[in-house]
Chain A
Amino acid sequence: MKKLKIAFLLFIIPFSLFTLFTGCAKKEDTIKIGVAGPMTGDQAKMGTDLKNGVELAVSEWNEKGGVLGKKIELFVEDDQHDPKLAVTVANKLSNSGAAGVIGHWNSSASIPASEVYKDRGNIPMITPASTNPQLTERGFENVFRVCGRDDQQGKIAAEFVAKNLKIKKVAIIHDKTTYGQGLADEFKKALVNETEVVYYGVVIQGDKDFRAVLTSIKDKKPALIYFGGIYPEAGLLVKQAKELGIKAPFMSGDGTIDKEFIKIAGKENAEGTYLTFSPDPLKIPAAKSFLDKYHAKYGEHGPYSIYAYDAANILLTGISKAGAIDGKKVRDAIHILAYDGALGTVQFDKKGDVLKAPYIVWVTKDGEFKEFKQTTSD
């Protein structure tokens, strides 16, 4: 009999707590903000950076009393950089009444998710990292991005390869994702008449053995290998290329700017690899206070933490300017906003792209990413 009582208690306590918590949440009116990105899986590092950046911004707003007189509640969702899951996550956030979403991280997730947000009441979404041009080319007024676009990025990379490095033969690989293929194609398009593309191939995201592709590339003797993709594959490509005796330098886009890339590739193999990204936030004076706070709370910042932080601040400023959590009103408020954030002043054009997106070339030196400096001899 006693056992039965204990069992009953064990059963009843969690359930009563459960109802207690849901009861609380209903009574206390909050403004809900969604964060979506790859929180688990091989790209989990990026998702965590994204979440931390947004969390920091939200906690600052909450300390000042929230927005529109209500506390802000954060909903973190994991899309595992899977387009199908991104749609599920988008529906889930729409159902929970999110006033706006920061995310997603991957273009392949952001594009299908943005359709859900648009159809479910024009929920504004600000992506800190999806660079595929397609995202803002479909006339969706609720979609914004605080980063640049791949057509800008691919062009800078192509100019650098043709004019600075004076390279005549390149091999291009991509990972078949919206981001990777988009970037590789933009790079290829911008190379026209300048440089010959001797190889154009595909690797599969999640694969670990790229020797077959790299051996074909070695045979074509390119002077540079360009990769459209993310760091787990980029790191292995660099490592395996060096093991096959390929000496051509490696270049990629913003998807590889993470310490994990150097870790996977190995410090000596990563030496001298190029990539395109925006200028170092450590050199932007406005970023200083953000970085100090971020480092105190989470340690080392990721490349996109600062974008996530600014994106969250822009969304919350938009909500407070709109004076309501109505999707259309918030969206229109963000369109006319000129926000002074950690990245400098951010303003959007009609499509939702930032007015100026500075991309520069970075190079890996002594196991660190550094801004590339033109040598005087050139």
Chain B
Amino acid sequence: MFIQQIINGLTLGSVYALIALGYTMVYGILQLINFAHGEIYMIGAYMAVIALGVLTATGLTAVNLPLSIFLVFIISGLFCGAYGLTLERIAYRPLRHAHRLSPLISAIGMSIFLQNYVMLTQDTVDKVFPHIIPATGLELAGASISYLQIFILAASFILMTALHLFIKKTRLGKAMRATSQDSRMASLVGINVDSVIAVTFVIGSILAAAAGVMVAMYYGSVNFFIGYSAGIKAFTAAVLGGIGNIPGAMLGGLLLGLVEGLGASYISSEYKDVFAFLILILVLIFRPTGLLGERVGEKV
């Protein structure tokens, strides 16, 4: 049972980690907590249901399931990337030089807007993700790991590695690091700060979309409200790992998933959500910079 809980926790945690990356990247560059990020994840989950419905109608899912799932990821990623870009453009860029609180309020406004927009256009009833992925898996020491769980773990790992390499090895990644250290200095040496910020939002949104698609497949149903709790938990994960720190977000997500899974099974399932927020409070009291965060002083 312990192994099973670890696997469940890691699966959940890798999803949190993917969402947390979006929070942490944006914070690293803008010192802004993008509260609408959870809604991007929710839209990603909805896009998965819609895209798969369209692909099923064309008959592709019956012919080639892996290809259609790949396409679902691509479609959802494209849409969410576009949402992220638009979000930055209309809600944050005009407020770039405003008081620190203004973009934060704008973020909360966008979150409420997107939630209600999805509720009105997609109805309030839970949408069911078609049961096309077989629930089979491996048996390991009394624990059953479904292929879907393996897929989620592997896909998250690949995406996180890709992100890590992108930031460490590419020119654009270097520009992002430079902007996060000092955006004015970065602009003086010829980095287009606006486009770097836009790229950050797009990448964060694509990762959230991937998390959304995987959650839609894993849980089997989505509604307009899932972005709220997932967003807050991913935010906790980002704070736990040290906000602004990319490996920290990955670590924080995985730890949070484990704590939630183990806490719910060994302590009380009633308090499942409490564990996440307990961690948030403890981290903020005892280690405000997070596990891997360096001291940033006045930035926080």
Which residues of A approach B to under 8 Å, CB–CB?
40-42, 44-45, 176, 201-204, 206-209, 211-213, 215-216, 218-219, 232, 235-236, 239-240, 242-245, 260, 263-264, 266-269
* CB <8 Å contact, A42 and B269: no
Which residues of chain B have a CB within 8 Å of any CB of chain A? 1, 4-5, 8, 12, 123-126, 128, 131, 135, 137, 139, 144, 146, 148, 215, 219-221, 223, 225-226, 260-261, 264-265, 268-270, 272-273
A243 to B8, CA, bound (A): 12
In the complex formed, the residue of A with least CB distance to B261 is: A212
Q: How far is the CA of A213 from the CA of B270 in the complex (A)?
A: 10
Q: How far is the CA of A223 from the CA of B193 in the complex (A)?
A: 62
Contact B125 A212 (CB under 8 A): no
Closest to B260 in A: A212
Whether the pair B273, A204 counts as a contact (CB closer than 8 A) is yes
B230 to chain A, nearest CB (A): 10
Q: A212-B8, A213-B269, A243-B146 are in contact. Are A206 and B264 (CB under 8 A)?
A: no
Contacts known (A266-B131, A267-B131); A212 close to B270, Cβ less than 8 A: no
In the complex, what residues of A have CB within 8 A of residue B139's CB?
245
How far does the alpha carbon of A240 sit from the alpha carbon of B1 in the complex, in Å? Answer: 15
Least CB distance, A36 to chain B, in whole angstroms: 17
Contact: A208 with B219, CB < 8 Å?
yes
Which of A201, A209, A212, A240 has the most B CB atoms < 10 Å from its CB? Answer: A212
**Residue of chain B at shortest CB distance from A266:** B131
Q: Check if A207 sits within 8 Å of B135, measured CB to CB.
A: no
Interchain CA distance A202-B264 in the complex, whole Å: 10
Interchain residue pairs with CB less than 8 A apart (18): A42-B124, A44-B125, A202-B268, A202-B270, A204-B269, A206-B225, A208-B215, A212-B5, A212-B269, A213-B269, A215-B5, A216-B1, A218-B4, A236-B220, A239-B220, A243-B148, A260-B126, A268-B131
CB < 8 Å: which of B5, B12, B265, B269 contacts A202?
A: B269
Once A216-B1, A219-B1 are accepted as A-B contacts, the answer to whether A264 and B221 lie under 8 Å apart by CB is: yes
Give the CA-CA distance A201 to B272 in the complex, in Å. Answer: 12
Q: A206-B225, A215-B8, A236-B221 are in contact. Are A42 and B126 (CB under 8 A)?
A: yes
Q: Which of A176, A212, A236, A245 contacts B265 (CB 8 A)?
A: A212
A235 to B123 alpha-carbon distance, docked (Å): 19
- Once A201-B269, A209-B12, A243-B135 are accepted as A-B contacts, the answer to whether A44 and B124 lie under 8 Å apart by CB is yes
B residues within 8 A CB of A176? Answer: 270
Please name the residue on chain A nearest to B3 by beta carbon: A215
- In the complex, what residues of B have CB within 8 A of residue A207's CB? 272
Other-chain contact of A244, B4, B215, B221 (Cβ < 8 Å): B4
Interchain CA distance A296-B115 in the complex, whole Å: 35
Q: Report whether A232 and B221 are in contact in the complex, using a CB–CB cutoff of 8 Å.
A: yes
- CB-defined contacts of A215 to chain B, threshold 8 Å: 1, 4-5, 8, 265
In the docked arrangement, what's the CA distance between A209 and B219, Å? 6
State the 9 A-B residue pairs at the shortest beta-carbon distance, nearest first. Answer: A212-B264, A266-B131, A245-B144, A219-B1, A208-B219, A40-B124, A211-B8, A243-B135, A212-B265
Closest to A208 in B: B219
A264-B124 contact given A208-B226, A216-B1, CB 8 Å threshold: no
Chain B residues lying within 8 Å of A42, measured Cβ to Cβ, are 124-126, 223
Which residue on chain A has the smallest CB distance to residue B264?
Answer: A212
Least CB separation from A232: chain B residue = B126
Q: Are A203 and B144 in contact (CB under 8 A)?
A: no
B residues near A268, Cβ cutoff 8 Å: 131
Docked pose: A240 CA to B268 CA in angstroms: 19
Name the residue in B137, B226, B265, B270 with the highest tally of chain A Cβ atoms < 10 Å from its Cβ: B265
A332 CA to B62 CA, complexed, in Å: 61
* Cα A267 to Cα B8 with chains together (Å): 24
Q: A202-B269, A215-B1 are in contact. Are A41 and B220 (CB under 8 A)?
A: no
Cβ A211 vs Cβ B261 within 8 A: yes
Name the A residues within 8 Å of B260 (CB-CB).
Answer: 212
Measured in the bound complex, the distance between the Cα atoms of B126 and A44 in whole Å is 9
| Residue among B221, B261, B268 having the largest count of chain A Cβ atoms under 10 Å | B221
Q: How far is the CA of A237 from the CA of B5 in the complex (A)?
A: 16
Residues of A within 8 A of B265 (CB): 212-213, 215-216
B135 to chain A: closest residue by CB: A243
Would you give the shortest CB distance from B49 to chain A, in whole angstroms? 12
Residue of A nearest to B123 (CB): A44
A235 to B220, CA, bound (A): 9
- A271 CB, min distance to chain B CBs, angstroms: 12
User: In the complex, what residues of A have CB within 8 A of residue B125's CB?
Assistant: 42, 44-45, 260
Interface centre among A201, A208, A260, A269 (most CB of B within 10 A): A208
Contacts of A213 in B (CB 8 A): 264-265, 269
A244 x B220 contact (CB < 8 A): no
**CB-nearest residue of chain B to A268:** B131
Q: Which of A212, A263, A264 is in CB contact (< 8 Å) with B272? A: A212
Which residue, A45, A218, A244, A267, has most C-beta atoms of chain B within 10 A? A244
A264 touches B135 (CB 8 A): no
- Identify the closest chain A residue to B9 (Cβ): A212
Which residue of chain B is the closest to A267 with respect to CB atoms?
B131
Nearest CB on B from A232, distance (A): 6
